[in-house]
Amino acid sequence: MGLGLAWLVAATALLVAQPTLLSLPHPHPQVVALTHAWVLGFFVTVACGAVYQLAPVALGTTLCNERHGWWHFGLHAVGVPGMVYSFWRWDLRLLGHFGFAVALGIVLFAVNTWRTVRHSGRRGTVAWSLTLAAGWLMTTVLVGLLLAANRYWNFIPIDPVALLRAHAHLGLVGFFFTLLQGVGFQLVPMFTLGEVRDWRLANLGLGLSQAGLLALAPALVWHFAPLGLLAALAITAGMICSGVGLRRALATRKKRALDPGTRSFLRGGVGVCAAAIAGVVLVSPGSPWGSAPGGFGAMVYAILGLAAGLLPCIAGMMCKIVPFLTWMRAYGPRVGRGPTPSAGALTHPRIERWGLALQGIAVAPLLVGAWTLSEPWLQVGAWLLAVGVALFVTDMLGVLKHLWAVPALAPATKPGGAR
């Protein structure tokens, strides 16, 4: 989580420094570098950290191999900045070295997740979601290595832009959306004191998204628009099913008022569905929308998926998980021995609320700027996002300081006042 926060600051700073990157074609090397700073640096880092925490809780077991988790962390911490730098300078040889380090870490993560699920003996939507998401993430990074090798040696006779699009969707739909379709049914009921009484919609949603992705990837590679449309419709239907199922779980909640983190997570789900609908339009046969800069195209679709979808989901999830983890580490051992605050008391709700709100508001000018190729709109959006991120990070650091600023327990007092 701490490494993810560092990447959130770095990725936002990169966007503020060069907001016009969002007006360039999406295969541009520096656009690819910015995308990996956000996706691989922030989103994947935080999501993997969340899996290490949530998988044992959701499955009622312990993490299979904590040492492999630390190896993954080290490889990821070294490999991702090297990859971003290599993309920015377009040094394919260097990219291969750092990409291999990241891929090795992700393989350790995937195997660790699979073994944890297997040892738990659990089966169901959440277990399948964790298993499938880990597999898709490993597939995504291995395909990414293959693409980097192909750009260097040029041995695959297929349009590299089409391969890049398939690679992106393997990660976004395969890892993130699959993970959210399972973890959402664990997190939201847990933090709202609700329950999932019927898993059929959750199972149907997960199944549709998996079937859709299996068809979407080859459709994008070989430009088969009819299959791409059917696949996109299946993925969108799967997300809607999951959304309806989650809404029914919310209706059972005992905690009626929703905190900022939960609201942000749910708002991100709406953004993900909006991006899916935009994707349906883009892959429709005969669609006039293309991948050239400006207008309704790939960059607008990406902003919807990342800034309006994944960012509020991941940030909202962190607002719940980081205080919980911090409380368990700092105050858990003190229970029954001294005064302890609640996990929710570690945050600053007003700062949290404004940080998440400004991140959401920033999406509109970023969309307008990417659509109209307007640098002023892109600058406004980037700075609004930066202020929102600054407030969010301030809130998270305020939570994390409790790891080091816990007051010492007073010595136990014996009857009669003697120490």
Domain chopping of the chain, boundaries = 2-331+344-403
Mention every residue, 6+ apart, whose C-beta is less than 8 A from residue 111. Answer: 68
Tell me, what amino acid is at 271?
Answer: G
CA distance 144 to 118: 27
SS (H, E, C) 223-273: CCHHHHHHHHHHHHHHHHHHHHHHHHHHCCCCCCCCCHHHHHHHHHHHHHH
CA proximity to 319, closest of 261, 271, 267, 275? 261
What would the CATH number be for the domain defined by 2-331+344-403?
1.20.210.10
CA distance 143 to 103: 10
The predicted pLDDT at position 407 comes to 59
The predicted pLDDT at position 358 comes to 98
pLDDT along the chain (419 residues), means of 10: 96 97 94 97 97 90 95 98 97 96 98 95 92 97 95 92 95 96 90 92 97 97 94 97 95 90 94 95 85 88 96 95 90 82 88 97 98 97 98 96 73 48
CA distance 142 to 175: 13
For the entire predicted model, the pTM comes to: 0.94
Mention every residue, 6+ apart, whose C-beta is less than 8 A from residue 280. Answer: 229, 232, 233, 236
CA distance 367 to 93: 34
Distance from the first to the final alpha carbon of the chain:
41
CA distance 108 to 67: 10
Q: What is the pLDDT of residues 345-378, one digit of tens each?
A: 899 999 999 999 999 999 999 999 999 999 999 9
The predicted pLDDT at position 417 comes to 46
Tally of CB atoms within 10 A around 166: 21
The predicted pLDDT at position 118 comes to 94
Tell me the Cα Rg of the chain: 22
Taking a C-beta distance cutoff of 8 angstroms, is the pair 291, 250 a contact? no
| Residue 355 C-beta-side C-alpha neighbours within 13 Å | 22
Tell me, what amino acid is at 22?
Answer: L
The predicted pLDDT at position 272 comes to 95
The predicted pLDDT at position 412 comes to 47
Taking a C-beta distance cutoff of 8 angstroms, is the pair 236, 280 a contact? yes
The predicted pLDDT at position 319 comes to 94
Mention every residue, 6+ apart, whose C-beta is less than 8 A from residue 132. Answer: 174, 178, 206, 210
Mention every residue, 6+ apart, whose C-beta is less than 8 A from residue 143. Answer: 166, 167, 170
CA proximity to 402, closest of 344, 315, 317? 344
The predicted pLDDT at position 373 comes to 95
Tell me, what amino acid is at 48?
Answer: C
The predicted pLDDT at position 411 comes to 53
Query: Treating both helix axes as pointing N-terminal to C-terminal, what angle do 225-250 and 178-192 enclose, rounded to 10 degrees?
Result: 10
Report in angstroms the alpha-carbon separations of 377 from 368, 369, 380.
7, 5, 5
